[in-house]
Amino acid sequence: MSLKKLVNEIKFRTGTAKCTEYLELVQRVLDGQASRSQEVYLKRHQKMCLKCLERFNIDQEIKKLIQLKLASREVPEGLAEAIKTKIAKSA
Amino acid sequence: MEESPTKNDYTNQAKDKIFNEEFMPHIRAMYNFAHRLTYDEDDAKDLVQDTFMKSYRFINSFQQGTNAKAWLFRIMKNSFINDFRKKSKQPTKVDYQEVEGYYNSEGTQKAVTTDLRIDTVKNLIGDEITNALAALDIDFRTVIILCDLEGFTYEEMAKILDIPIGTVRSRLHRARNLLKEKLQSYAQSMGY
């Protein structure tokens, strides 16, 4: 662990980190890539900081929006077959 | 990542099996990624075809049982950059010295302060989010697609994009801030 990471870890553990320092945890938690302790640190901070909680909720909502509202296109008809034919010819 | 330092020597039968069972099931995700890179149906089809042809040609570099989807996405990203980006109407590359320094510099590591509110975000429709994403530079758009739509981990993204994991996180952070700014301006223009 680098010195910077170690210092941050201590700040998170003791609850002395600044709001801006929680940004990385916000992103990790949002993306499901935080450790259990990182989730705990962020939740603890959000209980005391409504601004950070609201920011997290907005980011989470935008992520959901991207997942729900961006239409997934159907694969054009014949594309898979065209690929397989081309592969067969090249083999 | 999914490339083995020692090349495999698959039989033709094994190659076909890998191709049909491990590669082809990802065709829909591949087509959607291609379309979100090129915003053109013909270019997207060409890019998918090109990627699958390359995947077959280099199949001996693929380790069976590893993450085929990440491997294919990496090929597609490289193909797009090398062959398709030139004819794409997308903006040119961003200045990464400026961008990558963004996250780590003390003064700029702050959340974007928009007036976006939860109820405003919930009111946004598909077209607005599509346009906001399309308006982002290709490199920022890509990290959002890979993370939010395709569910890749930071580590997988680092391998797909050939960048350090710290850069993945900072680029994603920056991309999301830019997206929020665009959504904010849409919301304002719609009078939310």
Among A20, A76, A79, beta carbon nearest to B110: A20
Which residues of chain A make contact with B173, given a CB cutoff of 8 A? Answer: 23-24, 27
Distance, in Å, from the CA atom of A56 to the CA atom of B136, rounded to the nearest integer, reads 22
Among B12, B45, B49, beta carbon nearest to A86: B49
Distance, in Å, from the CA atom of B106 to the CA atom of A79, rounded to the nearest integer, reads 49
For the whole model, what pTM was predicted? 0.85
The residue with tokens 């909720």 is A57
- Has residue B134 got a pLDDT over 70? yes
Among A63, A73, A80, beta carbon nearest to B35: A73
Q: A55: which DSSP letter?
A: H
B161 contacts B130 by C-beta, under 8 angstroms:
no
Q: Provide the H-helix boundaries in B58-117.
A: 68-79, 96-104
What type of residue is A71? Answer: A
The torsion of the CA quartet B80, B85, B88, B94, rounded to 10 degrees, works out to: 120
Asked if A76 lies within 8 A of B147 by C-beta distance, the reply is no
Distance, in Å, from the CA atom of B73 to the CA atom of B2, rounded to the nearest integer, reads 11
- Predicted local confidence at residue B88, as pLDDT: 55
pLDDT digits 0-9 by tens, B5-22? 568 889 999 999 999 999
Please compute the mean of the pLDDT values over residues A60-80 and round it to a whole number: 93
Q: Which of A70, A72, A85 is the best mutation test for B, with the most CBs of B within 10 A?
A: A70
Contacts of A84 (CB under 8 A, 6+ apart): B24
Which residues of chain A make contact with B57, given a CB cutoff of 8 A? Answer: 90
